[in-house]
Amino acid sequence: MPSNREFIRNADRKAVMQQITKKSEALFAQAQQTIPGGVNSPVRAFRSVGGTPRFFAKAKGAYGWDADGNRYVDYICSWGPAIVGHAHPEVIAAVQEAAAHGLSFGAPTAAEVEIAEWIRSHLPSMEMMRLTSSGTEATMSAIRVARGFTGRSKIIKFEGCYHGHVDSLLVKAGSGLLTFGNPTSAGVPKSFAEETIVLDYNDIDGVKKCFNEHGAAIAGVIVEPVAGNMNLVKPIKGFLEALRQQCDAHGALLIFDEVMTGFRVGPQGVQGISGVRPDLTTLGKVIGGGMPMGAFGGRKDVMQCVAPLGPVYQAGTLSGNPVAVAAGLATLRIVSAPGFFEKLTSMTASLMQDLQTIAHESGEENFCTDSIGGMFGLYFSKTIPITFDDVSQSDRDQFNRFFHAMLNRGVYLAPSAFEAGFVSIAHAGDPIDQTLQAARESFAEIAR
């Protein structure tokens, strides 16, 4: 089997990759017999970029190995959770210790209280919270709480933002749905979608107009304060502040979906960077350290309407699972070390600048990058996007060529032009050096 370095030098990369992905191809064929599309989450199927998805067998630090034994520098990082690198020894030890005492109890544990207090100490807006098993559960529950607390039914979301596969939020959603060019989902009743108002991200005037027309019916606004599901798109100056002002003026709740950005872009998420305090926050990914976990929480008076204290029902058999909580606590302790986010932010920004320089030196002027904390965006366009329409106008064919050129050189990017990428603290050094070398060769290849 050729090593990464050997197939990097090989001119006929397509032929080489056909030889070294046989197990992934066989597994993909087998999986399609029992799993829709052969994958358990749509974007993994490589439908957007073409080719065979890699079936991973293990991961360590910044690297992942597929079933054929090929090693990749991993910039998916389990779609964000692996911020300290895969299989960090402290996280693994915490999981092993917790698992040795039992996998699930269906009863409260001291660790649940500990992680809730840890989160509250870093995100003061989350005065009370409830743990869940996923980010989707968290956003679904936050929406229910907003409606229950206000007695209203309508929710504002933004085109290109994805908040999990919640029925009323699968309305012009982002992420994998954009990949398939189908921004709505079958199986969602029209009556559910009618309770959702979809606005353009970063359109302050549109938000104000909507509240002026429908303010009395709006229960809340849910937003990715930095979007990561239509690639990385940051809020323009004043956008988040306008959401806060309009919600206050009309009695609606502001919900920050920080499932992706929470403890990924900084020690207090986007709300710490922006200074805008939401009424409710949803979390996931990093707080589970790679295990399935989410959380939603916010103002005490709002959260006190959740059962058993109030009339809004929410429950989950595996909510606060002790193994997931152990992984999350171990991860959160690591990222709270002094200088962690400063190093991660600097490393990510430097990588993005280097990639942009390499692209321009190769003659690819239609390329730019952006980053925040350990999240980044790659855009085959001349300017950094600020709306979903901007992202949609990028050169997806060129992205697909770049994706495969990098994959063939041992660098694993998100298999869609509509996804943000992630850097872990473990990427420092050789992984980034390998990435930049792969980028030099890849941009030279796609420029031909």
Q: d(Cα 254, Cα 298) in Å, to the nearest integer?
A: 10
Q: pLDDT tens digit string along 215-259? A: 999 999 999 999 999 999 999 999 999 999 999 999 999 999 999
Catalytic residues: 162, 257, 285
Express each pLDDT in 151-160 by its tens digit: 999 999 999 8
CATH number attached to the domain at 4-74+339-447: 3.90.1150.10
- CA–chain centroid gap for 364, Å, is 27
Q: Which residues contact 117 (CB under 8 A, 6 or more apart)?
A: none
Query: pLDDT band for position 421 (50/70/90)?
Result: very high
Phi first, then psi: what are they for 189, rounded to 5°? -60, 145
Mean pLDDT of the chain: 92
Tokens of 8: 């990097």
- Separation between Cα atoms, residue 377 and residue 379, nearest integer Å: 6
User: Which residues are 377's β-sheet partners?
Assistant: 370
| Residue-wise pLDDT tens digits, 91-141 | 999 999 999 999 999 999 999 999 999 999 999 999 999 999 999 999 999
Please report, as a single letter, which amino acid is at residue 320: G
For CATH 3.40.640.10, the residue range(s) in the chain are: 89-335
Residue range(s) occupied by CATH 3.90.1150.10 in the chain: 4-74+339-447
| H, E, C per residue of 360-405 | HHCCCCCCEEEEECCEEEEECCCCCCCCHHHHHCCCHHHHHHHHHH
Give burial (CB, 10 Å; 0-12/13-18/19+) of 279.
Answer: buried
Calculate the CA 332 to chain-centre distance: 17
CB 129 within 8 A of CB 296: yes
What is the residue whose two structure tokens read 């990759």? 17
Distance CA 155, CA 401 (A): 38
Selecting from 1.10.10.10, 3.30.70.270, 3.40.640.10, 3.10.20.90, what CATH number does the domain 89-335 have?
3.40.640.10
**pTM summary value:** 0.93
Q: Give the 3-state secondary structure of residue 255.
A: strand
Q: What percent of the chain has pLDDT over 90?
A: 85
User: Which pair of tokens denotes residue 103?
Assistant: 């996998």
